[in-house]
């Protein structure tokens, strides 16, 4: 309908404006929806990564504590302690997963370009679409075989390899759907398939983290006797006798009468967590080792942390308690 002088009537202008406004509103809504989905994806990934860090730190600490002859619960570690002790090591697994994802993106781009250029009936496209599932099943079986090889690397990586096989299997189903003689999944079946594989992949990631933490905890405990001398040296002064009995610990007394203080040296700092210092002695061995637990803020206790590379502190002369109290 045309108005005076070719100018459209006001009703038509209002309808066009409403249509444009509706399109803009729809576009903005879609944009906001996409941003919300992206934000939720990031938050979910951060939550999964935090859970992975905590779980990794707990498994590693538990394994090392068990091999050192103590219970991990004694340490009283917090979530922050677990995260700080695992953040550097646990990032290796997401990096490997991300690298595998980039390889998959490169392959998918190459395949889709070839398919768009040569069509679905091209020989290589047909071969990949029909038989990629065999490669996926083979990759999954390789991961199963890696369990029995016995190396630390295969022990850590086999859950990731199995997870990669499952993801590749899901991808191969998507490629087969483009074949002319293929039968696709029902929507409900496809949803169940994707959800099941997502759960199994998450289990594989946590399983691999468990194995990695177990390997690290075992290695730390195995090398621990060689690193005792490199731990920070601690000397403890107390107004009351602490009766620390451990190989390599020397007890002496300073002052006289009511001013007497008990001095202990030959201790090393193992952990500082849960409001306590966990100390071991210079003579700690896997056959006989003592872990001393002292509260950090206890009244009447003073801690001296000594850097003594050359061992000069052994030359210091402290009187025995028998002489100081006589």
Q: Which residue is associated with the tokens 């190989």? A: 247
The distance of Cα 98 from the centroid of its chain, to the nearest Å, equals: 14
- The pLDDT tens digits for 74-88 are 777 777 777 776 766
Predicted confidence at residue 5, as pLDDT, reads 46
Tokens in use for 166? Answer: 């499952």
Q: For residues 124 and 77, what is the distance between their CA atoms, to the nearest angstrom?
A: 56
Q: Is 148 left (phi over 0), alpha (psi -120 to 50) or beta?
A: alpha
Predicted confidence at residue 32, as pLDDT, reads 52
- The pLDDT tens digits for 297-312 are 788 888 888 876 565 5
Query: In degrees, to the nearest 5, what angle opens at C-alpha 162 toward C-alphas 161 and 167?
Result: 95
Predicted confidence at residue 219, as pLDDT, reads 81
The yes-or-no verdict on residue 70 having pLDDT over 80 is no
Tokens in use for 31? Answer: 């944009």
Q: Where is average pLDDT lowest: 19-33, 98-112, 136-150, 268-282?
A: 19-33
Whole-angstrom distance between the N-terminal and C-terminal Cα of the chain?
Answer: 118
CB 261 within 8 A of CB 323: no
Predicted confidence at residue 184, as pLDDT, reads 67
- The pLDDT tens digits for 213-226 are 788 777 877 777 88
167: helix, coil or strand? helix
> What is each CA distance from 196 to 138, 193, 256, 311, in whole angstroms?
19, 5, 73, 60
Domain boundaries, the chain: 1-88, 91-225, 231-325
Predicted confidence at residue 4, as pLDDT, reads 46
The yes-or-no verdict on residue 27 having pLDDT over 80 is no
Q: Which has more pLDDT, 160 or 324? A: 160
Q: For residues 34 and 29, what is the distance between their CA atoms, to the nearest angstrom?
A: 9
The yes-or-no verdict on residue 21 having pLDDT over 60 is no
4: helix, coil or strand? helix
> What's the average model confidence in pLDDT over 146-161?
89
Q: Which residues contact 133 (CB under 8 A, 6 or more apart)?
A: 169, 172, 173, 176
Q: Where is average pLDDT lowest: 40-54, 99-113, 178-192?
A: 40-54
Q: What dihedral angle (degrees, nearest 10) is formed by the CA atoms of 182, 185, 187, 191?
A: -130
Which ranges of the chain does DSSP label H, i.e. alpha helix? 10-68, 72-75, 79-90, 92-118, 123-146, 152-176, 187-227, 321-325
> What is each CA distance from 177 to 123, 181, 184, in whole angstroms?
16, 9, 6
The yes-or-no verdict on residue 115 having pLDDT over 50 is yes
Q: Where is average pLDDT lowest: 42-56, 164-178, 182-196?
A: 42-56
Q: Where is average pLDDT lowest: 26-35, 40-49, 188-197, 297-306?
A: 26-35
Q: Where is average pLDDT lowest: 101-105, 271-275, 299-303?
A: 271-275
Predicted confidence at residue 55, as pLDDT, reads 77
The yes-or-no verdict on residue 99 having pLDDT over 80 is yes
Predicted confidence at residue 138, as pLDDT, reads 93
The yes-or-no verdict on residue 39 having pLDDT over 80 is no
């Amino acid at each position: 309908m045309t108005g005076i002088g070719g100018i459209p009537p006001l009703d038509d202008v209002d309808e066009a404006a409403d249509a444009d406004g509706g399109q803009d509103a729809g576009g903005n809504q879609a944009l906001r929806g996409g941003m919300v989905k992206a934000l939720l994806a990031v938050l979910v990934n951060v939550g999964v990564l935090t859970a992975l860090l905590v779980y990794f730190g707990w498994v590693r600490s538990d394994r090392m504590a068990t091999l050192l002859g103590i219970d991990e619960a004694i340490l009283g570690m917090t979530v922050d302690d677990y995260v700080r002790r695992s953040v550097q090591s646990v990032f290796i697994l997401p990096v490997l997963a991300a690298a595998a994802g980039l390889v998959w993106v490169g392959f998918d781009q190459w395949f889709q370009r070839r398919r768009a250029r040569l069509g679905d009936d091209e020989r290589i496209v047909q071969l990949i679409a029909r038989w990629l599932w065999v490669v996926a099943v083979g990759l999954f079986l390789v991961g199963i075989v890696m369990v029995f090889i016995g190396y630390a690397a295969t022990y850590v990586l086999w859950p990731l390899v199995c997870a990669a096989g499952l993801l590749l299997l899901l991808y191969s189903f998507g490629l087969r759907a483009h074949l002319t003689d293929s039968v696709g999944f029902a929507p409900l079946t496809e949803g169940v398939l994707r959800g099941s594989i997502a759960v199994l992949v998450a289990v594989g990631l946590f399983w691999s983290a468990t194995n990695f933490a177990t390997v690290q905890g075992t290695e730390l405990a195995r090398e621990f006797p060689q690193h005792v001398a490199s731990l920070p040296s601690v000397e403890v002064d107390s107004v009351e006798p602490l009766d620390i009995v451990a190989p390599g610990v020397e007890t002496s007394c300073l002052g006289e009468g009511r001013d007497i203080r008990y001095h202990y040296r030959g201790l090393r700092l193992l952990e500082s967590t849960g409001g306590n210092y966990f100390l071991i002695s210079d003579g700690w061995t896997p056959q006989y080792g003592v872990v001393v637990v002292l509260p950090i803020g206890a009244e009447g206790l003073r801690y001296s942390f000594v850097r003594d590379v050359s061992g000069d502190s052994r030359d210091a002369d402290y009187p025995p308690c028998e002489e100081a109290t006589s």
